[in-house]
Structures are given as C-alpha cells and as structure tokens.
Amino acid sequence: MTQSMAGDDEFRALRAFSAMLGDDSAKTQAAGGNTSLKREGIMWIKASGTWLAHALDRDIMVPVRIEPLRAALAGGDPRAETAVDFVDQAANVSNLRPSIETSVHAVIPHAVVAHIHCVETLALAARQDGEARIGERLAPLEDVAWAFVPYCRPGVPLSAAIAARQKPETNVLVLGNHGLVVSGASVAEVEDRLDRVCLALASPARPAPPADLGRLEDAVRGSDYRLPADLFAHGVALDPVSFGHVRQGSLYPDHVIFLGPGIVETDDVAAGAAIRREEAKDGPPAMLLLRGLGVVLHRSTTPAADALARCLWDVASRIPADAVLNYLSKAQDYELTHWEAEQYRQTLDAKTRAKEAAP
C-alpha cells in the first residue's frame, strides 16, 4: 500500500473491519471473502489468495483503477476477468493480484463493500425456499434494501447478474449458494448493517455428536490422510440430518475449491482415496467422509481445507431436516475446479503455507 493510504482513517478502518471478519469463522473462512474501499478513482480491494484475518499485519489490499475496469466490463473486455491490467502498479508495492471478485465490487456503486461467506446466510441461500425465508427475516430492517441473486460463477458472470438485479439504493445482496454482500457509504455503516443482517439470518444449530478419535486415528494410520484440526468438522458424518444434506452435492464455491466437489463418502480410507471424479481436479480427494465415523483430510491440504471442513458442519447443522436444497451441478463444479483464477488462489495458499512452515 502507499504511505498516503496507510495514514487514511477510512482505510485503517477497512483494515480493522477486514481483520475482524477474517477472525470470525462464522462470517468467512480462510482466503474466502473480500472487502473494498473506493477512493479518488481507485478501488482498494483484497488481493487474491490472501486472508482477511491478516489485514492488520500484512499488505493484502490491491489498488485497481475503477473506471477503466467498469468500461471493460461494459464492453465485454476479457481483461475484466482477472482485472490485473487495471491495477495501479505504482501503488501496488507488494505486487499483489486482485481478488477474483474484483468485478463484483466494481459494479456496486457504494464506497465500501464487504463480501463474506457467512454460515447463517449460506444455510438459507442454499435452500429452494431461501429467497422467501430471507425476505421474511430482513423485512423488519428498515435501512436494508436487498436483492437475491441466484447462483452463477463468481467473477464476471456474477458481476453481470448483480448489475442486472441491483437498484441504486440496494445495499445488501444475498448470493444464492454463495454468500452475502453488504455495502454503504462508510466502513462504520457497512459494519453495523452487516452485523444486523447476519443476526437476522441466524438459525439454531444442532449440536455436534462426539467423534471417536481413537477409531479415526486407526482409520488413517499408514495412509495419506489426517484428522482435521477442528473436531466439529466430524459432525457432518455423525449427525444424520447433516449427512443427508451434504452427501447430495456441493453447496457453495469455496467448498469445491478447497475440499473438492461434493462429498466422497466411504467406509475405508484406501477405497476412498482411489475414487476419481471427472468434475474434480486430478489426484486423490481432498476430503473423505467416513460413514458414521468422521471426516479426514489429505495430508497435502492446507489450513484452508481445515477451515472449510469446519464451515461445512456450521452450515449443514443449521439446515433443518425438511429443507429442500439447491446444489451446484457437475458442470458448475468442473467450472470452479478448472478455473484459472481459483487455481491461482490455491497455488498461492499452498506457497504461503510452505513459507510459514519453513524454519
């Protein structure tokens, strides 16, 4: 970041707000979610692959020239997809790449935008009756002008869908099978609105059944799999309602990116490790769901996978047994796993993990 922005009060507030969001796993997980501030023709937006949680101790914001990017979007310019050609490189001292959602922030007119993968939102936004139920929850909030955007691939397709549905006064967007976007004139306004929206969308969660860690350790011994860092992640294999929901397919993009499409369920680690899906990337599954036992992660996975494994339980445990859900199609799963922008994000996440693990 430039020295001038480092001393900007609103920019400092954005960094603090971003870090707070990143530290709350109920609001966003790992490298998911992004925030931005538009200032004098420049949109400062979280960099691809970086974590909001690191906003106060690392340079994670990229300066993007907003009007040229908007013109590219309006003209169907393919450079709008990555937005790298619109970065103000003179101010991009850390040589960062803009978030995959840069185009989404660009089409929203407000000065401050926060996009998160709130588990409360996801538990409703994945339901076939989600739009109606969300409308009921948000109706009492007088200063919330909201719109629902059905699922489409993040990036330019999503920005086009948002542009078609938002009105000048729209300040909350619920993205089907994806998350929540809250915008406003200042960081303080967005923070207050976001907190009240998340509270309004909150649903009770079922308790996580206890996992038998001894049996799980036996199951992975000698394999390329490990136990997740968070014990709550096992809940999706042990709670029958959650298991019934997650086994049917992918519920949101970051699950696909960091854990693979859908769920690979098995009774045996070796058998599960051998499963290959055409919509997934090459190699063994990132996560296996051991029926009635728990969840295990491939040893090559990063902490992002641990965060998303916990997220899956947090979302699934808030979905009632009688809910009918929308799932991403195999084509949509493939679209995400083979998208260059997401492959870049995963590569950066792996590099960061290796750097931090080095002595």
Q: Are residues 98 and 167 in the same domain?
A: yes
Query: Does residue 206 fall inside a structural domain?
Result: no
Write down the pTM of the prediction: 0.94
Query: Does residue 327 fall inside a structural domain?
Result: yes
Q: Are residues 283 and 313 in the same domain?
A: yes
Domain boundary among 142, 177, 200: 200
Q: Are residues 153 and 245 in the same domain?
A: no
Residue 278's pLDDT band (cuts 50, 70, 90): confident
Query: From CA 166, how far away is CA 148, in angstroms rounded?
Result: 9
Q: Are residues 236 and 303 in the same domain?
A: yes
Token pair, residue 169, equals 């006064």
The residue range of the domain holding 21 is: 3-200
Q: Are residues 195 and 234 in the same domain?
A: no
Q: Are residues 9 and 130 in the same domain?
A: yes
Q: What is the largest CA-CA distance in the chain?
A: 58
Q: Please check whether residue 78 is in contact with residue 124, taking contact to mean a CB–CB distance below 8 angstroms.
A: no
Token pair, residue 245, equals 């929901």
The model's pLDDT over 288-340, given as tens digits with 9 standing for 90+, comes to 999 999 999 999 999 999 999 999 999 999 999 999 999 999 999 999 999 87
The model's pLDDT over 132-164, given as tens digits with 9 standing for 90+, comes to 999 999 999 999 999 999 999 999 999 999 999
Domains of the chain: total: 2
User: In sequence order, which residues have a C-beta less than 8 Å from that of residue 147 and are 6 or more positions away?
Assistant: 165, 166, 167, 170, 172, 173, 174
b/e sequence 102-117, b meaning 16+ C-beta within 10 Å: bbbbbbbebbbbbbbb
Query: From CA 309, how far away is CA 305, in angstroms rounded?
Result: 6
Q: Are residues 88 and 135 in the same domain?
A: yes
Torsion sign across C-alpha atoms 300, 306, 307, 309: positive
CA-nearest of 171, 54, 51 to 113 is: 171
**pLDDT above 60 (res 220):** yes
